[in-house]
């Protein structure tokens, strides 16, 4: 994810320092929907293609487009896996939107699309799995403890705090813990990673 985001943002910033040609006019393309979350990849690609028309000499945008194409080409059918890939594209698009824009080559993103992007990423970063009651007393107690540690990590306002809290996670479960308990623990650990990702991708203060 980092490589793709960096390439796109570098272009968004670098293009603004190379002059400001007007974006070429042409037939209006059909705007991608996000009924399937991978639509965020289509939107990211559309925006990149528009920027590349303004600055065809910029190789970083070509690399970013190829990275998006590769992600979509290998996308699995599993809904959660597709959603995870869509997050990579959504974060890339968000990074481009935050970068300083050339005056005569604005990003082609509507207010509605910006709102959908924000809603999607907020839901992704904000997911919190509740500690289930599985009937296994020791496993249930461990999950309650893990949920508290997860919440503490996600309450952090900076990466240093989140990383420290992350090292204190105790996701160990009894060897005979049921599958539901193991699934919940895995989701909680993943949610801590999402909170770290959100802090990493947050705009500088």
- Report the share of the chain in percent with pLDDT over 90: 67
Helix ranges (DSSP H) in 74-171: 79-98, 111-126, 137-154, 159-167
Residue 27 pLDDT: 47
| 135: DSSP letter | S
The reported pTM is: 0.82
Rounded mean pLDDT of 89-109? 89
Residue where one domain finishes, among candidates 70, 101, 126: 126
What is the predicted pLDDT for the residue at 202? 84
pLDDT digit string, tens, across residues 79-89: 999 999 999 99
Residues 76 and 148 in one domain: no
Pair (9, 90) in one structural domain? yes
Domains: count for the chain: 2
Location of structure tokens 């990579």:
88
Closest among 87, 77, 78, 75 to 34, alpha carbons compared: 87
Whether pLDDT at 115 is above 90: yes
pLDDT in tens, 160-196: 999 999 888 999 999 999 999 999 999 999 999 999 9
What whole-number distance in Å separates Cα of residue 142 and Cα of residue 144? 5
Decide if 117 contacts 160 (C-beta within 8 A): no
Contact in structure between 11 and 55 (CB atoms under 8 Å):
yes
Q: How far is CA 54 from CA 105, 106, 184, in A?
A: 7, 10, 47
- At residue 5, does pLDDT exceed 70? no
Q: 131 lies in a domain?
A: no
Q: What is the pLDDT of residues 31-65, one digit of tens each?
A: 999 999 999 999 999 999 998 888 888 898 889 99
Residues 6+ apart with CB under 8 A from 126: none
Domain span holding position 102: 2-126
Domain-embedded: residue 132: no
Q: Are residues 86 and 120 in the same domain?
A: yes
Report the alpha-carbon angle 12-13-17, nearest 5: 115
pLDDT higher at 204 or 35: 35
Q: How many CB atoms lie within 10 A of CB 70?
A: 11
Mean pLDDT of 125-152: 96
Tell me the two tokens of residue 85: 């890939």
> Is 168 in the same domain as 101?
no
pLDDT confidence of residue 98:
87
Q: What is the pLDDT of residue 16?
A: 43
* Secondary structure (H, E, C), 151-167: HHHHCCCCHHHHHHHHH
């Amino acid at each position: 994810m980092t490589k793709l985001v960096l390439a796109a943002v570098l272009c968004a910033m670098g293009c603004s320092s190379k002059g400001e040609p007007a974006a070429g006019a042409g037939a209006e393309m059909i705007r991608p929907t996000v009924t399937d979350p991978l639509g965020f990849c289509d939107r990211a690609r559309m925006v990149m293609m528009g920027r590349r028309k303004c600055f065809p000499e910029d190789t970083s945008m070509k690399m970013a487009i190829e990275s998006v194409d590769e992600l979509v080409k290998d996308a699995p059918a599993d809904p959660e896996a597709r959603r995870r890939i869509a997050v990579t594209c959504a974060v890339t698009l968000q990074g481009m939107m935050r970068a300083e824009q050339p005056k005569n080559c604005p990003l082609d993103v509507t207010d509605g699309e910006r709102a959908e992007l924000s809603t999607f990423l907020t839901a992704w970063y904000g997911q919190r799995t509740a500690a289930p009651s599985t009937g296994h007393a020791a496993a249930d107690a461990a999950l309650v403890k893990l949920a508290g540690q997860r919440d503490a990590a996600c309450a952090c306002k900076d990466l240093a705090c989140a990383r420290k809290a992350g090292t204190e996670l105790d996701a160990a479960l009894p060897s005979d813990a049921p599958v539901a308990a193991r699934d919940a623990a895995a989701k909680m650990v993943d949610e801590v990673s999402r909170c770290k990702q959100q802090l990493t991708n947050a705009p500088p203060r």
